[in-house]
Amino acid sequence: MNEALITPITLSASVRTRVKIPIHSRTSKQRFEAEMVTFSGLSDIGEHLAIVFEPLNRSPYVRVHSECLTGDVFGSERCDCGEQLDEAITMLGKLGGILLYLRQEGRGIGLYNKLDAYHLQISQGLDTFEANQAINFPEDMRDFRVAAEMLQALGIFEVSLVTNNPDKIAQLEKNGIRIGNVIPTGVFVNNTNHSYLRTKIDKHHHTINLGEEPQ
Ligand SMILES: [Zn+2]
């Protein structure tokens, strides 16, 4: 968005394998033709995945989703990751675009540490970020450079980014991806995740409208 922030850098990742796999949205039950893409030469060791939905235009819709096993797979109500992932699949499947699925479980601290942090949140009343600090991790260890590497390996240098997170915008721009548009994601509030979403807004300036406070 701000051209002054964009610094061209040389990234060395390349596509490793492309596999066509039909997938479906769990809520809308719609079926989509998808291509799962793996990479060589990414700057961290995670097995990150791009899921490509044709057609791709000059500035395709892109959603960067960080892995959340509890939310994505098991429908945990402590966060809204599963709903956000399903919304992204439905939108990108209909319109075309790329889902970048980053293996950064628990804001990069890993599954077991995330569950330790949940335990502290429940037992001591800490919020997500305070709990991470209490177990000696930064409040957010995610690094979105790898998302820029994946896009560049796919030949994508400008995107319409689907996000409420200003940090994703800044990190992609810093790593050479032009942000043509920003499309906000939906918000999926329940009684359990309300304080988690409130913390995202208060501490990380996410652009989320929570609407009515749940009862
Ligand atoms: Zn989650």
The continuous run of DSSP H or E covering 129 comes out as helix 128-134
Residue range 76-97: mean pLDDT, rounded: 93
Give the model's pLDDT for residue 214: 40
**How many angstroms is it from 73 CA to the middle of ligand 1?**
10
Q: Cα–Cα distances in Å, from 192 out to 76, 110, 189, 206, 214?
A: 9, 21, 8, 19, 10
Determine the Cα–Cα distance for residues 35 and 173; give it in Å rounded to an integer.
Answer: 25
pLDDT at 11 over 80: no
**How many angstroms is it from 114 CA to the middle of ligand 1?**
10
**How many angstroms is it from 106 CA to the middle of ligand 1?**
7
Residue range 48-63: mean pLDDT, rounded: 96
Bridging pattern class, strands 31-40 and 49-53? antiparallel
**How many angstroms is it from 7 CA to the middle of ligand 1?**
32
Q: Which residues are catalytic?
A: 140, 142
The continuous run of DSSP H or E covering 24 comes out as strand 14-24
Give the model's pLDDT for residue 213: 42
Tokens of 135: 């177990």
Bridging pattern class, strands 49-53 and 14-24? unpaired
The pTM (predicted TM-score) of the whole model is: 0.84
Half-sphere exposure of residue 63: CA atoms within 13 angstroms, side-chain side: 27
For the chain, give the mean pLDDT: 86
pLDDT at 63 over 90: yes
Determine the Cα–Cα distance for residues 143 and 192; give it in Å rounded to an integer.
Answer: 27
CATH number of 16-104+143-204: 3.40.50.10990
DSSP-derived 3-state class of residue 38:
strand
Where do the structural domains in the chain lie, given as residue ranges? Answer: 16-104+143-204, 109-141
Residue range 13-29: mean pLDDT, rounded: 93
Determine the Cα–Cα distance for residues 142 and 102; give it in Å rounded to an integer.
Answer: 9
Tokens of 43: 């700057």
**How many angstroms is it from 66 CA to the middle of ligand 1?**
8
**How many angstroms is it from 210 CA to the middle of ligand 1?**
17
The confidence band for 45, taking pLDDT boundaries of 50, 70 and 90, is confident
Tokens of 60: 């395709």
Give the model's pLDDT for residue 210: 60
